[in-house]
Structure 1
Amino acid sequence: MFFFSLSLRTRPFLWNISYKPKRTMATKVHAVAQTGFGTGTNDLYDRARPSYPSQSIAHIREVVKSPAPLNVVEIGAGTGIFTRALLAHPAWTADIHKVKAIEPSAGMREVFSKTVADDRATVAEGTFNHTGVEDGWADIVIIAQAFHWCPDYDSASAEFARILKPDGATVCIWNLEDRDGAGWVAQLRDRVESHEQGTPQFRLGLWRQAFDTASYTKLFQPPEEKEWTYHLPGSVEICVNRAQSKSYIAVLPPVEKAQVVEDIKAILAKGDGKVWMDESQGLFEYPYKTLVVVARKNS
């Protein structure tokens, strides 16, 4: 789930503290994102990436102040992983009027259209800064596993405020493997993250710059955060596929990607801190964390 800004003419670009992204008329999508999340990679992404804890989705429902039926805008909807969870969640399913999913990737929109079988949900091309949603339509804006790709936090905050109702809120949610949960998770992340190429990954916290922009401080209240720690079922196949679904791994040359896979298998075979769920089935605990950040619009 990744974005480009029409004003900056870039999709996710290489970005770290010292890196200055190159912005040219010809560059709309960075090569890492264009290839790593491009058409042909999206089925693996949808299959490999985890859904979201039920309690985190219930928490987001409590954020909404307006009465049902509710209008939801989901920016960076990707293949519909969060959308499906939202539509099916008991705290939400009876209260949703419409979900307008916004996603710039054609490949992801294609998978979304195949996997989200609900007449209340539509998907359209758009970005953080240009959603195409009418003024004051949304009760809530939700961004799942995507806001760290935003290239212009100030204009994005202005766009969120524009499409939200007066008592609305923007909510960001992320899943991330918990490196503190087991030694093998830390080792796996170290191996995989060595290929990030400076991309603005969630773990770096660059997205927190949004809360200091002029538009955010004028239009939204200080952010609120809540985190959950838990574990999911893991296996060698799950860990390998999840790693390969990351954009910066997907773009690696075949030989280099194969080496990453072999190294992951070696880490799992060593299994530092591994806790078996069902050893006969090859299932073990996969430690995870989920973070929810709530930004309430000023009245």
Structure 2
Amino acid sequence: MSTVHKVAASGFGSGTNELYDRARPSYPSQALTALHASLPESSGLKVVELGSGTGIFTRALLAHSSFGQSIAALRAVEPSAGMRDAFEKAISDSRITCQEGTFEKIDSSDGWADLVVVAQAWHWCPDYEKATAEIARVLKPGGIAAFIWNLEDRTAAPWVAQLRDTYEKFESNTPQFRLGLWRTMFDTTAYLNHFHPHEEKEWEYTLLTTASLVIDRVLSKSYVAILGGEEKERVKAGLEHILQVGEGKKWIDKEVGTFEYPYRTYLVLTQKK
């Protein structure tokens, strides 16, 4: 039976989705351009998006100059009912559907998809052997599997490193992207049998942000969302102090409180044999 990590299930469950959608960043256009360029076909694309959440990545695809008009159909797959509800409220497009499912259980026929993409979610996969086999099943030969993440860049400014040190101690052994546990997929029989060697790409950039947006970003993390009220308030106070001191902060407009938020986006691409 397919399973969802208990921290993900509660931390991204009903009641958390509005904050998640508001706080999480979108994806840089250059990453989407690189993804589109990797596809053997450039139009009439059939896409499966796993762990689609509230549709942040889906909306980025639809808004992108290359992807927007080239998608024929996109099937979003999301286990959280709250996330699916937020997705359906945010996206109204006859080409797009959002359905219940998991990494290991995708309601699509064999060889249907030109692209299977997972944004900000693949590290939650409970069984990379089964999930990689399922991705291979729904991809057509020559199709692309893509995995993309955004992560705050702790090397760009001391305040970002301090921020991450504050919240990462609450991870409680959850399988976070930064730990690289998702790389297990490359050793699975399903991957070795069905996919060519992967390639990785990375982009550095900054977002315009405010202190409240930074704090919301942290509070939207699953393992922070499930903290008790008092503990969460202590975390929030610590974040406020870090942002007030702002070591290495680069202001965009100090009067209105906007500054640079350093980020990196990581893209992993692999092609089905």
Match of 1:289 in 2: 264
Tell me which of 63, 68, 73 is aligned to 2:48.
Answer: 73
How many Å separate the matches in 1 of 2:60 and 2:178?
23
3-state SS of 1:79 partner: coil
3-state SS of 2:190 partner: helix
Tell me which of 152, 169, 191 is aligned to 1:177.
Answer: 152
3-state SS of 2:40 partner: coil
3-state SS of 1:248 partner: helix
Match of 1:50 in 2: 25
Tell me which of 171, 177, 192 is aligned to 1:196.
Answer: 171
How many Å separate the matches in 2 of 1:35 and 1:138?
30
Match of 1:106 in 2: 81
Is 1:216 matched with 2:209?
Answer: no
Report % sequence identity.
Answer: 54
Match of 1:238 in 2: 213
**Does structure 2 retain, via aligned residues, the 8 Å contact 1:144–1:172?**
yes
Q: Look up the equivalent residue of 2:107 and give its one-letter code.
A: G
Is 1:11 matched with 2:4?
Answer: yes
How many Å separate the matches in 1 of 2:132 and 2:63?
28
Q: Alpha-carbon deviations, 1:138-159, whole Å to 9, x = none?
A: 0000100000000111111111
| Equivalent pairs, count | 273
How many Å separate the matches in 1 of 2:62 and 2:109?
22
Q: Could you list the runs of 5+ residues in structure 2 that have no partner in the other structure?
A: none
Q: CA deviation at 1:169?
A: 1.0
Is 1:254 matched with 2:247?
Answer: no
**Does structure 2 retain, via aligned residues, the 8 Å contact 1:66–1:167?**
no
**Does structure 1 retain, via aligned residues, the 8 Å contact 2:47–2:113?**
yes
How many Å separate the matches in 2 of 1:93 and 1:255?
44
How many Å separate the matches in 2 of 1:130 and 1:269?
46
How many Å separate the matches in 1 of 2:4 and 2:69?
35
TM-score by length of 2: 0.98
Q: Alpha-carbon deviations, 1:100-137, whole Å to 9, x = none?
A: 00000000000000001211110000111111111111
3-state SS of 2:75 partner: strand
Q: Look up the equivalent residue of 1:11 and give its one-letter code.
A: V
Q: Alpha-carbon deviations, 1:14-46, whole Å to 9, x = none?
A: xxxxxxxxxxxxxxxx1x223211100001000
**Does structure 2 retain, via aligned residues, the 8 Å contact 1:37–1:247?**
yes
Q: CA RMSD in A?
A: 0.8
Match of 2:204 in 1: 229
Q: Which runs of 4+ in 1 moved over 4 A?
A: none
Q: Could you list the runs of 5+ residues in structure 1 that have no partner in the other structure?
A: 1-5, 13-29
How many Å separate the matches in 2 of 1:208 and 1:145?
14
Q: Alpha-carbon deviations, 1:38-80, whole Å to 9, x = none?
A: 1000010000000000110111101110252110000010000
- 1:62-141 to 2 correspondence within 5 Å? 62-141=37-116
Q: CA deviation at 1:11?
A: 1.3
**Does structure 2 retain, via aligned residues, the 8 Å contact 1:102–1:123?**
yes
Q: Look up the equivalent residue of 1:200 and give its one-letter code.
A: P
Tell me which of 145, 148, 161 is aligned to 2:120.
Answer: 145
How many Å separate the matches in 2 of 1:127 and 1:98?
19
**Does structure 1 retain, via aligned residues, the 8 Å contact 2:36–2:42?**
no
How many Å separate the matches in 1 of 2:130 and 2:236?
39
Match of 1:22 in 2: none
How many Å separate the matches in 2 of 1:114 and 1:131?
22
